[in-house]
Amino acid sequence: GEGPGQEEDRRGEPFVGAAGALLGKIIGAMNLTREAVYICNVVKCRPPGNRNPEPAEMATCLPFLKAQLRVLQPTVICTLGACATHALLETDAPISRLRGRFHDCGDRLWSPNRDCLVMPTFHPAYLLRHPEAKRAVWEDMQKIMRKLGLS
Ligand code: URA
Protein backbone atom coordinates (compact mmCIF):
# COMPACT_ATOMS: atom_id res chain seq x y z
CA GLY A 1 0.00 0.00 0.00
CA GLU A 2 0.84 3.65 0.21
CA GLY A 3 1.47 4.45 3.87
CA PRO A 4 -0.08 4.14 7.31
CA GLY A 5 -3.26 6.04 8.05
CA GLN A 6 -4.19 7.29 11.51
CA GLU A 7 -5.29 3.90 12.86
CA GLU A 8 -2.30 2.11 11.34
CA ASP A 9 0.08 4.68 12.85
CA ARG A 10 -1.55 4.27 16.26
CA ARG A 11 -1.33 0.47 16.17
CA GLY A 12 1.94 0.15 14.27
CA GLU A 13 0.37 -2.27 11.78
CA PRO A 14 -0.54 -1.76 8.12
CA PHE A 15 -4.13 -1.86 6.87
CA VAL A 16 -6.01 -2.16 10.15
CA GLY A 17 -8.54 0.64 9.46
CA ALA A 18 -11.56 0.71 7.12
CA ALA A 19 -9.51 0.07 3.95
CA GLY A 20 -7.76 -2.74 5.79
CA ALA A 21 -11.08 -4.40 6.63
CA LEU A 22 -11.98 -4.41 2.94
CA LEU A 23 -8.51 -5.71 2.07
CA GLY A 24 -9.08 -8.54 4.57
CA LYS A 25 -12.33 -9.45 2.78
CA ILE A 26 -10.57 -9.48 -0.59
CA ILE A 27 -7.80 -11.71 0.79
CA GLY A 28 -10.42 -14.04 2.30
CA ALA A 29 -12.29 -14.23 -1.02
CA MET A 30 -9.02 -15.38 -2.60
CA ASN A 31 -8.97 -18.37 -0.23
CA LEU A 32 -6.06 -16.79 1.64
CA THR A 33 -5.63 -15.33 5.11
CA ARG A 34 -3.90 -12.14 6.21
CA GLU A 35 -1.30 -14.39 7.85
CA ALA A 36 -0.59 -16.13 4.52
CA VAL A 37 0.35 -12.89 2.75
CA TYR A 38 2.74 -10.09 3.71
CA ILE A 39 1.15 -6.65 3.84
CA CYS A 40 3.37 -3.59 3.79
CA ASN A 41 3.49 0.04 2.72
CA VAL A 42 5.81 2.18 0.63
CA VAL A 43 6.16 4.89 3.27
CA LYS A 44 6.59 3.76 6.84
CA CYS A 45 5.22 6.80 8.71
CA ARG A 46 1.92 8.61 8.29
CA PRO A 47 2.28 11.79 6.26
CA PRO A 48 0.82 14.75 8.22
CA GLY A 49 -2.90 15.26 7.65
CA ASN A 50 -3.07 12.02 5.62
CA ARG A 51 -1.72 13.79 2.54
CA ASN A 52 -0.11 11.77 -0.25
CA PRO A 53 3.55 10.97 0.40
CA GLU A 54 5.96 13.33 -1.31
CA PRO A 55 8.59 11.98 -3.73
CA ALA A 56 11.38 12.67 -1.22
CA GLU A 57 9.48 10.72 1.48
CA MET A 58 8.98 7.80 -0.89
CA ALA A 59 12.66 7.87 -1.85
CA THR A 60 13.63 7.86 1.83
CA CYS A 61 11.47 4.82 2.62
CA LEU A 62 12.05 2.81 -0.57
CA PRO A 63 15.32 1.17 0.61
CA PHE A 64 13.40 -0.23 3.60
CA LEU A 65 10.68 -1.63 1.35
CA LYS A 66 13.30 -3.15 -0.95
CA ALA A 67 15.05 -4.69 2.07
CA GLN A 68 11.72 -6.26 3.09
CA LEU A 69 11.29 -7.66 -0.42
CA ARG A 70 14.84 -9.06 -0.45
CA VAL A 71 14.01 -11.00 2.71
CA LEU A 72 10.55 -12.10 1.52
CA GLN A 73 11.55 -13.03 -2.04
CA PRO A 74 7.92 -12.83 -3.20
CA THR A 75 6.90 -14.41 -6.50
CA VAL A 76 3.82 -12.18 -6.82
CA ILE A 77 3.32 -8.65 -5.48
CA CYS A 78 -0.05 -6.93 -5.65
CA THR A 79 0.40 -3.17 -5.57
CA LEU A 80 -2.63 -1.38 -4.15
CA GLY A 81 -3.17 1.98 -5.83
CA ALA A 82 -1.06 4.43 -7.77
CA CYS A 83 1.56 5.20 -5.10
CA ALA A 84 2.72 1.59 -4.59
CA THR A 85 2.45 0.84 -8.30
CA HIS A 86 4.48 3.86 -9.33
CA ALA A 87 7.10 3.18 -6.66
CA LEU A 88 7.69 -0.43 -7.74
CA LEU A 89 7.28 -0.08 -11.50
CA GLU A 90 9.09 3.27 -11.71
CA THR A 91 6.49 4.79 -13.97
CA ASP A 92 3.84 7.46 -13.58
CA ALA A 93 1.32 5.96 -16.00
CA PRO A 94 -2.24 6.00 -14.65
CA ILE A 95 -3.23 3.04 -12.47
CA SER A 96 -6.21 2.46 -14.76
CA ARG A 97 -3.73 1.69 -17.58
CA LEU A 98 -1.35 -0.43 -15.47
CA ARG A 99 -3.82 -2.60 -13.53
CA GLY A 100 -5.08 -5.96 -14.63
CA ARG A 101 -1.88 -7.45 -16.04
CA PHE A 102 1.37 -8.75 -14.61
CA HIS A 103 4.49 -6.62 -14.87
CA ASP A 104 7.91 -8.20 -14.55
CA CYS A 105 10.21 -6.43 -12.14
CA GLY A 106 12.23 -8.94 -10.10
CA ASP A 107 15.69 -7.75 -11.11
CA ARG A 108 15.03 -4.13 -10.42
CA LEU A 109 13.46 -4.75 -7.06
CA TRP A 110 15.44 -7.20 -5.08
CA SER A 111 17.25 -9.92 -6.87
CA PRO A 112 18.91 -10.59 -10.20
CA ASN A 113 17.93 -13.85 -11.91
CA ARG A 114 14.67 -14.24 -10.02
CA ASP A 115 11.26 -13.57 -11.48
CA CYS A 116 8.84 -11.43 -9.57
CA LEU A 117 5.51 -10.43 -11.00
CA VAL A 118 3.66 -7.28 -10.00
CA MET A 119 -0.12 -7.03 -10.39
CA PRO A 120 -1.29 -3.45 -9.89
CA THR A 121 -4.86 -2.93 -8.82
CA PHE A 122 -7.05 -0.22 -7.31
CA HIS A 123 -6.50 0.69 -3.65
CA PRO A 124 -9.18 -0.56 -1.21
CA ALA A 125 -9.70 3.02 0.00
CA TYR A 126 -10.63 3.90 -3.60
CA LEU A 127 -13.05 0.95 -3.62
CA LEU A 128 -14.75 2.35 -0.51
CA ARG A 129 -15.49 5.51 -2.50
CA HIS A 130 -16.04 3.75 -5.86
CA PRO A 131 -17.66 0.34 -5.24
CA GLU A 132 -18.25 0.00 -8.97
CA ALA A 133 -14.49 -0.67 -9.32
CA LYS A 134 -14.73 -3.83 -7.16
CA ARG A 135 -15.46 -6.01 -10.18
CA ALA A 136 -12.19 -4.96 -11.86
CA VAL A 137 -10.24 -5.66 -8.66
CA TRP A 138 -11.82 -9.09 -8.37
CA GLU A 139 -10.77 -9.85 -11.97
CA ASP A 140 -7.20 -8.82 -11.04
CA MET A 141 -7.29 -11.03 -7.93
CA GLN A 142 -8.48 -14.00 -9.99
CA LYS A 143 -5.41 -13.61 -12.21
CA ILE A 144 -3.22 -13.76 -9.08
CA MET A 145 -5.14 -16.81 -7.83
CA ARG A 146 -4.57 -18.60 -11.13
CA LYS A 147 -0.87 -17.69 -11.07
CA LEU A 148 -0.52 -19.05 -7.51
CA GLY A 149 -2.58 -22.17 -8.28
CA LEU A 150 -5.35 -21.11 -5.88
CA SER A 151 -8.13 -21.57 -8.42
N1 URA B 1 -3.79 2.72 3.23
C2 URA B 1 -2.54 2.30 2.92
O3 URA B 1 -2.06 2.52 1.82
N4 URA B 1 -1.86 1.64 3.84
C5 URA B 1 -2.34 1.35 5.04
O6 URA B 1 -1.63 0.71 5.84
C7 URA B 1 -3.65 1.79 5.35
C8 URA B 1 -4.34 2.47 4.43
Residue 4 beta carbon below 6 angstroms from any ligand 1 atom = yes
Does the pLDDT of residue 12 top 90, yes or no? yes
Q: Is the CB of 53 under 6 A from ligand 1?
A: no
Measure the CA–CA gap between 65 and 106, rounded to whole angstroms: 14
pLDDT bin (cut points 50, 70, 90) of residue 110 is: low
Task: For residues 137 and 121, give the distance between their C-alpha atoms in angstroms, rounded to a whole number.
Answer: 6
Three-state SS at 103: strand
Ligand 1 atom nearest residue 1's Cα: 3
In this model, does residue 112 exceed pLDDT 60?
A: no
Beta-ladder partners of 78: 119
Q: Which ranges constitute the DSSP H helices of 30-103? A: 55-72, 81-89, 95-98
- CB neighbours of residue 50 within 10 Å: 11
